[in-house]
A and B are shown apart, each in its own frame.
Chain A
Amino acid sequence: MKKLKLLVLEDQPQEANEIKLFLENNNYDVIVSKNLDEAKQIAEIIVFDMIVLDILINGKPEGINFAQYLNKQGIDIPFLFVTSVQSKLIFDQAKLTNPFSYLLKPYNKLELLFSLELAIESHYQQSNALSYQPKNAVLSPIFFFIKKKNSVVKVEVQSISYIEVKEKYCCLKCDKDQYQIKLSLTRIKKTLSNPDFKQVHRNYLVNIKKIKKIYFEDNLILLDNNDKISFSERYKNLFIKDHIIFR
């Protein structure tokens, strides 16, 4: 499990501090940059999950400039504006950069969190997959974005050993942690479309990279973390079919 990395462009130290504190309290990693150049430099070094932009930096609409820069560089990171600027001209300019949201200061804290969730949702085009209920998740090829209280965390797909169906939920078993998400196994399988994940049972999806040993006779799979998973006949046959090496 990893925290989401946020870049905040804010020139007012007090407000920067406030927003940094608030977001960190809600399980986000926050890096604040005080001007456009600094932001550009940081963005080159670190891959962020989201960017929160104030528009007016030192009296110049650097927030919009940064958004334009992101679009121009093809940096595919969702961003949103949090600003006190209400001028229609600026707003229209900001709108042209395709932000995920445009929040007015003083911002409603819940709304900010909500907007961040919406931004992830829309970025991966899975609307209402995350925001409205705890244990919801957004799937991307590399990460699971999972709602945890008022926050969102991401889980690297590669770190998952296996996914197990538990009643209404799916349980993502990682090396150490496990997460419950409210998604069907078929949906996960379909959205992941990752060849590393193989269904071995009606209720199990296994990351084959994490398999230590397979006991075909006993219909058992032993994983790296020593978890044991049953291997159903039906899926076993399919599995063998796909992997000629086992014949």
Chain B
Amino acid sequence: MINKSLVIILFFTSVTLEFLFCQVSTQTDKKKLYQKGKKICKTDTQVIFCKAFNFYRNKAFDSCYIYSNMAFSENLSKEKRDILNYIQGVSALNKKLYKKALNNFHSISSTTDYQNFKNLKLGQIHLKLEKYDSAIYYYQRWDTNSIHTDLVFKKNGYHNLALSYLHKKEFSNAKKYFDKELELIHTADTLEIITNKMELANIYYTQYKDEIAIPLFQEAYELAKSFSNLELKLNTSKNLAVVEKNRKNYKKSIEYYTVYDKWKDTIWNRDKIWELTERDKELAVAQKQNEITIQKEKLKQRNIQRANLIIGTVILIIFSGFLCYFYRKLILSNKLIIYQQEKLKSVNKTKDYLFSVVSHDLRSPINTLKKQHQQILDCMISKDFSGVEKTTKTAIAITEDTFHLLNNVLHWSLEQSDQLLFNQHIYPLQSLVAQTWYNLETIAKTKEITFRNQVNTAILIKVDKESLKIVLRNLFDNAIKYTRAKGSITVTTEMIPEDQIAIVIKDTGIGISNERVVQINHLKDISIDRIDRSKGIGLGLLLCQTLIRKNNGTLIVHSTLNSGTQMKIVLPFVNT
């Protein structure tokens, strides 16, 4: 039991050391080989050889192996062959192709300077193949010639030799070569000292030379304590613990075990910490990843929100645009409605006005007519024919008057509804005056009013004939109405500078008060709904103003109470 555990430890330590030495030996090999290889590459131009050599230098053993194989197919000098064999052997060794390596090394000619190397390598290979006898043989051969070998190789060789003996359980020989190695080891090289001491202790211990082994173990342990290599500390403490246990010195054993555990823990901790930090890192990375995904998610959400916002805004804008459009439409239609309402209002006012005119102004003349008729009837019964004639004449006058009123109403309503035909042409004024007067002649005659049409026949005016006739008719009518019997009415024309002509209608009537003159003159600015009928401004004058304005003219009234009125229709003059 005890031995077994120790062997395991020993084997473990030996393997590590072996590997260490292997490396050391190759490194020293290299230096010598470099020089030779360089020399050959300088003097010769064998590309493949140089390539293999370069690969060897760069430790690319695979390529080195292949290229050296290729190099063998060429004709080469012995020296080169030896070098190639060597580098291929090393490559094979590194690749654990031990048999190939063995062949290579064996084929190196025995006359060369590499005899030592050859033996050394062969020993190494045999050790690897656990052929300890052959290994010892080769190492012994090397040892006879080892004076020329440098320190590192010597250490290596001795160590391996000792190991071989150890495996062969020839402890005295093993100890001898370990001692030899120890001699060569530099005192400062603690690692090697510790391992060496441990090996020695092992040797003694397996030989049950405890009294020598234990101090060596302790020495190794003490040295390891102050050395930084944890594995060494672990091994030394474990060795001591096992040793103490075997000595039944359990207290100490436990102590060492605890130390061993401590180191183990430390190693474990070191690994663990590293692991933990790794895990922490992983965690942190995972967390970061998480955060990133969260951020991404957030970004995504934000993007979606933004897109939604934009869509919402666009919809809102479109909606508001529609709203604006409809609002505008509404306002427009409202405006139209208001305008129509205003128009309707004025039209309604006109209608009301006309109704009032018709009802009020028609009532009395019709009533009078009725009375006249009764009077005529009375006269007929009493056979008073002169009475009949007189009454009939008044009746005619009244009828004429009413007819005139009705005409005015008709024209006014036509004018207001834009149905009055309006065609301006050039007409002889004199004729128009005469025509208009013709209708009033009978009434004028009853009042014995003389009429003088003093308009020059050559005067032409550009008017709408019907509207001018309506105007003249109204003005004549007024003139007749307000002129006393046997008065006179004169129509003349008057040139006004700047291409205007005035038709002047002058009567010898009772005149109009200044107040009313002002009223009439301002009538042109007044719409029908503003007229106060109680003040007696009739439809006639209003119609006159409207129609004259339509003919691009103006009506001017001059009057002096009790001596007469002068009405002027100022119209644009047409030059013939």
Contact of A108 among B426, B428, B435, B457 (CB under 8 A): B435
Top 8 closest pairs, chain A to chain B, by CB: A132-B428, A110-B435, A110-B438, A133-B457, A111-B435, A114-B431, A108-B439, A132-B431
Partner of B438, one of A109, A127, A131, A133: A109
**Which of A109, A111, A128, A134 interacts with B460 by CB under 8 Å?**
A128
- Asked, given contacts A88-B419, A114-B431, A127-B426, whether A132 binds B460 with beta carbons under 8 Å apart, the answer is yes
B458 at the interface (CB under 8 A from A): yes
Q: For residue B439, which residues in chain A have a CB less than 8 angstroms away from its CB?
A: 108
B458 touches A108 (CB 8 A): no
- Provide the residues of chain A in CB contact with B380, threshold 8 Å: none
Residues from chain A with Cβ under 8 Å of B428 in the complex? 128, 131-133
> B: which residues have CB within 8 A of A?
419, 425-428, 430-431, 434-435, 438-439, 457-458, 460, 576
How many interface contacts (CB-CB < 8 Å) are there between A and B?
34
A133 interface neighbour in B425, B427, B458, Cβ under 8 Å: B458
**Docked-complex contact B435 and A132, CB < 8 angstroms:** no
Give the interface centre of A108, A109, A131 by most chain B CB atoms within 10 Å: A108
Are the CB atoms of A108 and B438 closer together than 8 Å? yes
B276 to chain A, nearest CB (A): 110
State the CA gap A127–B419 with chains docked (Å). 27
A132 B438 Cβ-Cβ under 8 A: no
* A132 touching B430, Cβ below 8 Å: yes
Q: List 29 A-B contacts (CB under 8 A).
A: A88-B419, A108-B435, A108-B438, A108-B439, A109-B438, A110-B431, A110-B434, A110-B435, A110-B438, A111-B435, A111-B438, A114-B431, A114-B435, A127-B425, A127-B426, A128-B426, A128-B428, A128-B460, A128-B576, A131-B427, A131-B431, A132-B428, A132-B430, A132-B431, A132-B457, A132-B460, A133-B428, A133-B458, A134-B457
Contact partners of A109 in chain B: CB under 8 A? 438
Collect the chain B residues with CB atoms within 8 Å of residue A132's CB.
Answer: 427-428, 430-431, 457-458, 460
Contacts of B457 in A (CB 8 A): 132-134
Q: A114-B435, A131-B428, A132-B460 are in contact. List 20 more A-B contacts (CB 8 A).
A: A88-B419, A108-B435, A108-B439, A110-B431, A111-B438, A114-B431, A127-B425, A128-B426, A128-B427, A131-B427, A131-B431, A132-B427, A132-B428, A132-B431, A132-B457, A132-B458, A133-B428, A133-B457, A133-B458, A134-B457
Interface residues of A in 76-112 (CB under 8 A from B): 88, 108-111
Shortest CB–CB separation between residue A225 and chain B, in angstroms?
A: 33
The closest CB in chain A to the CB of B403 belongs to A106
Smallest CB separation, B425 vs chain A (Å): 8
CA distance A109 to B437 in the complex (A): 11
Q: What chain A residues lie within 8 Å of B460 (beta carbons)?
A: 128, 132
Please, which residues of chain B bring their CB within 8 A of the CB of A88?
A: 419
Minimum C-beta distance from B407 to chain A (A): 10
Least CB separation from A130: chain B residue: B428
**Bound CA span A109–B427, Å:** 17
Find chain A residues with CB under 8 A from B576 CB: 128
Report A168 CB to chain B, min CB distance, Å. Answer: 12
With a cutoff of 8 Å between Cβ atoms, the chain B residues found around residue A127 in the complex are 425-426
